[in-house]
Chain A
Amino acid sequence: MTDMTSSLAGASQRPASTRRDIGIKRRYAAERRFRAYGIGAISIGIFFLGLLLWTVVSKGYTAFLQTEIVLPITFSEQVIDPKNERADNPAKLMTANYPLLVRDALVQKLGIDPANRADVKLATDMVSASARTQLRDVVVANPAIIGQTVTVALLAEGNIDSANKGQIDVTVDEANRKVKDKQLGWMQTLAQDGAMTKSFNTGLFTSGASSRPEAAGIGVAALGSLYMMLIVLALALPIGVSASIYLEEFAPKNKLTDLIEVNINNLAAVPSIVYGLLGLSIFINFAGMPRSAALVGGLVLTLMTLPTIIIATRAALKAVPPSIRAAALGLGASKMQTIFHHVLPLAMPGILTGTIIGLAHALGETAPLLLIGMVAFVVDFPGSPLEPSTALPVQIYMWANEAERAFVERTSGAIIVLLIFLVVMNLGAILLRRRFERRW
């Protein structure tokens, strides 16, 4: 026993005297600390991401449902076309007093005294003013409906919709409340009758801007965004890829190309609002292109996306192993053939990933569009990129400025839609990379 300890001591003494203290314990402690910092940083990130998603989704999911009031509407000829002029003058159908039809139907349904004007007003306020256009469209599409009674689902007014979703505090004093006690009572009556229902809000996806939240949608804005994305894709991809190929493969390495490279990297970091100003002064003021048009928006976003695509493409080209180039050149392929037959196909996943990420970035961009007049109240679908249009993020920005409770949920709803687009695009980028990635 003593022998062993002494020999152990002897064995450990000899190297210990020659070995420096390099602080093994401190080294491990430092590593543990570093890992803890990393985990902490990631946890904070995940926490805020979760918070963001939770706020947006919890506020926004109700936007996908819309309260409707189902009423048997009598398309009375007395109201629509009392003098029977519609055969000669089709415009008559456009200007008829359709809200009267709604009023009559409501008064009948709720059993209100038509002489009590205050109550009648309260009742008709429960139905969205968009009922006018809704009924007009029905009649114009099918004039034979006049004289018949048809059940029509009308949009509930924004505040009634919010109240129906439980978003309005009914304990507040009636005078300070948007929805009056009487209306709440009628809502109950209608609900018991099955005349007040919640259904999927297709209008959110098909309508344009409206000052009435129940009739407002992101359809027009989404079309504007689609136009811009197509323009960005059609311009930024070929220009960016050609520029990268030239810079990476053909351009001589000298001061000038170094300067260009530095500037491209700087351009990627230029605030987007500066691109908006550039677009305003060049495309609109100098070139005389139309204001608020998706064409100008697309051009501005192209300028903004180009550096991203060029940087991604150059990185992808650089990542192609030189042995592949050597093999092709050694076989007698020209430089052009080497690039187009071998290098570019291998760099394609990287290029596409960069392009999709650039597009996703452009899709979510708001600031430059504000400066070129795309922050506009656009009701109709733009027939071409030259017509006034707006974009998804701008629509969100505009809705966020509205006061009504129903716009709050629609803002979050539109954000959810935008986020879904972005997630789908980024997933596409990841899938492309996985699918086409090659190993050497």
Chain B
Amino acid sequence: MNMMSEATLEKAVDQKMNAVPHKMIGKDVSVYYGEKRALFDVNLNIRENTVTALIGPSGCGKSTFLRTLNRMNDTIDHCRVTGKITLDDGDIYDPSIDVVELRARVGMVFQKPNPFPKSIYENVTYGPKIHGLARSKAELDAIVEQSLQKAGLWNEVKDRLHESGTGLSGGQQQRLCIARAVAVSPEVILMDEPCSALDPIATAKVEELIHELRANYTIVIVTHSMQQAARVSQRTAMFHLGNLVEENDTDKMFTNPDDQRTQDYIMGRFG
């Protein structure tokens, strides 16, 4: 009975979601690596305070699309992006946009946990320091505590903030990376297969964390795990061979997708 009511509640929430404003809008986004075209006119909107999962077989362009959202593709030679991506109505590829500022607003968590080989404290404070978010040591301390709290890591590391971040376990390292991203108060957090290097227990913790972060942040997550996409996201976008196949509510996507290819992929017929 209780289960039922919870399910209906979520349905209701999802229905309301359709009215949620779009945080980022991608219009006709194409990406070229030299001569090779990796994305074909993708139109995808990211809703505010929503977890959007990007799924699809390897090499389908989902990570490429994710990286266009905070211009991490800029660091790759011969990479060219066409089309338009906006963040709160501002074109992020506009020449007047400072990429440093953009990345402070759109944070990123990577596939492999990559803490700096410095102390846990320094890992979290690095972002706030370079962006001038704290004026005093006390403010920095507060940011460290809040960020680690949000990443669910505070209780585990509060007594060893000055030990190396690389000494933590894989799952803890990944949550430290999330804390590090959260510390600069971004609006959007991009996650590129954040759990692929973690064991199931650490994965469960990170997924739980994604659930909690949703209240304050817009999250885009690339994942290879159908179950994970189903568990953590409200919206799902399916990519195939550089094309956006389908974008829909996660519930609908996993029960009654519009596109045959989505059906096949989810059923494990290819990919």
Residues of A participating in the B interface, judged by any CB pair closer than 8 Å: 252-253, 321, 323-334, 337, 341-342, 346, 438-440
Contact = CB atoms under 8 A, between A and B. Distances in A.
B103 to A, nearest CB: 4
Nearest to B105: A332
Contacts of A328: 116, 126
B65 to A, nearest CB: 16
Contact of B117 (A331, A333, A346): A346
Most-contacted residue by chain B among A324, A326, A331, A439 (CB, 10 A) = A331
Given A438-B166, A439-B166, 11 more contacts: A321-B114, A323-B110, A324-B116, A328-B116, A329-B75, A330-B110, A330-B181, A331-B130, A331-B180, A333-B126, A341-B126
Contacts of B77: 252-253
Contacts of A327: 110, 114-116, 177, 180
Contacts of B116: 324, 327-328, 342
B101 A332 contact: yes
Contact of A334 (B100, B107, B180): B100
A324 B72 CA distance: 14
Main secondary structure of the interface of A (DSSP, over half): helix
Nearest to B113: A323
B34 to A, nearest CB: 12
A342 B127 CA distance: 13
Contacts of B101: 332
Contacts of A341: 126, 130
A342 B129 CA distance: 14
A326 B100 contact: no
A325 B177 CA distance: 14
Contacts of A346: 117
Nearest to A327: B114
B218 interface: no
B186 to A, nearest CB: 9
A331 B107 contact: yes
Contacts of A337: 130
Contacts of B112: 323
Contacts of A440: 117, 166
A324 B114 contact: yes
Contacts of B103: 329-332
B70 interface: yes
Interface in B251-265: none
Given A323-B110, A341-B126, A438-B117, A329 B72 contact: yes
Interface string B168-182: 000000000100110
B184 interface: yes
Of A324, A325, A332, chain B has the most CB atoms within 10 Å of the CB of A332
Interface in B78-121: 100-104, 107-108, 110, 112, 114-117
A332 B110 contact: no
Interface in B166-220: 166, 177, 180-181, 184
Contacts of B100: 332-334
A321 to B, nearest CB: 8
B101 to A, nearest CB: 7
Contacts of B158: none
Contacts of A323: 110, 112, 114
Interface string B137-151: 000000000000000
B181 A331 contact: yes
B127 A331 contact: yes
A332 B181 contact: no
A241 B2 CA distance: 66
B131 interface: yes
Given A253-B77, A327-B177, A440-B166, A332 B117 contact: no
| 6 closest Cβ pairs, A-B complex | A323-B114, A332-B103, A330-B108, A332-B104, A331-B127, A327-B114
B127 A332 contact: yes
17 contacts: A253-B77, A323-B112, A324-B116, A326-B108, A327-B115, A327-B116, A327-B180, A329-B75, A330-B108, A331-B104, A331-B130, A332-B101, A332-B104, A333-B100, A333-B130, A334-B100, A341-B126
B259 to A, nearest CB: 32
A321 B127 CA distance: 19
Contacts of A324: 114, 116-117
A337 B126 CA distance: 11
A330 B75 CA distance: 11
A325 B110 CA distance: 12
B114 A326 contact: yes
Contacts of B180: 327, 331
A323 to B, nearest CB: 4
A341 to B, nearest CB: 7
Contacts of B127: 331-332
